[in-house]
Amino acid sequence: MLNLTYNYKLEPTAKQIEIIEHNLKVCKSVWNYALYIRKLWYNSRSCDINKCSIISEYVVSPFEYPNYHAQSSALTKAKKTNPFLKSGNAQAMQQTLRKLDRAFNDMKSKGMGFPRYKKKMKSFNILSNKFEINGNSLKMPLLKNVKLRKSRDIPDGFKIKQVQILKKASGYYANLMIELDVDIPSPLPHGHAVGVDVGIKSMLSTSDGLIIHRPKFLNKALRKIKLLQRKLKNKDIGSEKWNKLQRKIALLHEAVANRRKDYHFKLARQLTSGVGMIFVEDINFTSWSKGIFCKQSLDMALGQFFNILEYVCSVTDTYFSKVDKNFTSQICPNCGTHTGKKTLDIRVHKCNECGYEQDRDIAAAEVVCNRGLTAVGAPVVKLPSNGVLAGTTV
């Protein structure tokens, strides 16, 4: 099964905008209420039954854990008596509950944060097998026929499975999730291998000697945003001028995000061309962005870049794998000796054992590449020092 997502700008009529806005509102209430019930469950079990907390205690009669199925059937029941819920699209509401369920699962499995209440809902999903594109309009349940800017054609044979209606500062968009019923084997390790090391000084370095510096083209837009935000402070909240400035800032943010994403795609394409395998470090960017690298790392959005790189690899038949990130800058790529910790100002790796000399970041990328290669094929070689294994994957 091959799944792709195509994004189109919508040109809805005033009536359709009203429908979209109304459904966003309904979905927001569904999200917030479902989250409230889940929070209630968590709080009601936050302390042992034989002791009370000093500050306050939740007193609710015990109830089953509100999982997706429980909440979904509760929603169906509530719709019978609540006209506001009844006015919303049933599919969109169910999908909102599913999204919340996923958020809780991600919290447990991936260590993401506790889901939050939403001030604004930005999107809702609709599942159906009745989507159709005729010329410049998308036929779908809820909105009937909605005009879209057909920036590209959907490839032959693909079927639209799901549509996400998205609200951004610059208008309304549709994410079309399309599917082709073919068996695509996941890429196998082959061909030329490249290791990628990411950092702060240079955004990334490859074992082939390519160094990409932190893109500066976002700085100009970010400076502009800062300036506008300073202006915003002097305006009355909710006034016309305040609203206008808010909109301007939102548009700039969107432009920055678009430019960054475009850059990431181009960079990923560049890295994968003529390459059979790509290895990257397995980094937890959430904890990274909380540390000293906060500003820069958020700016580069390396987590997003890795996701995009993985996606581009999957469509260009390039093997993608993550390897252990520890000690990449301390091990000699040539002989495997542990050369000790380098401070950030030491830019060159120099090995006392074998005399190998290389740029520090490129040497780290070479270590990543070696680890990847060992993990996919060659036997794991035990390194001579400190017992660190070369090919351990996480």
Tell the smallest beta-carbon distance from residue 371 to Zn ion (Å).
16
CA–CA separation, 228 and 244 (whole Å): 11
Structural contact between residues 6 and 178, judged by C-beta atoms closer than 8 angstroms:
yes
Q: 11 vs 353, which CB is nearer to Zn ion?
A: 353
Tell the smallest beta-carbon distance from residue 390 to Zn ion (Å).
13
Residue 274: alpha-carbon gap to chain centroid: 26
Tell the smallest beta-carbon distance from residue 276 to Zn ion (Å).
26
CA–CA separation, 41 and 222 (whole Å): 41
Q: 33 vs 356, which CB is nearer to Zn ion?
A: 356
* Binding site residues, Zn ion, CB under 5 A: 332, 334-335, 337, 351, 353-354, 356
CA–CA separation, 22 and 28 (whole Å): 10
Tell the smallest beta-carbon distance from residue 383 to Zn ion (Å).
11
Indicate the SS3 state at residue 333. coil
CA–CA separation, 368 and 392 (whole Å): 11
Query: Which residue type occupies 329?
Result: S
Q: 205 vs 330, which CB is nearer to Zn ion?
A: 330
Q: 6 vs 356, which CB is nearer to Zn ion?
A: 356
Tell the smallest beta-carbon distance from residue 150 to Zn ion (Å).
56
| DSSP label of 276 | S
Burial class (CB in 10 A: 0-12, 13-18, 19+), 352: exposed
The encoded tokens of residue 148 equal 């879209």
Q: 17 vs 335, which CB is nearer to Zn ion?
A: 335
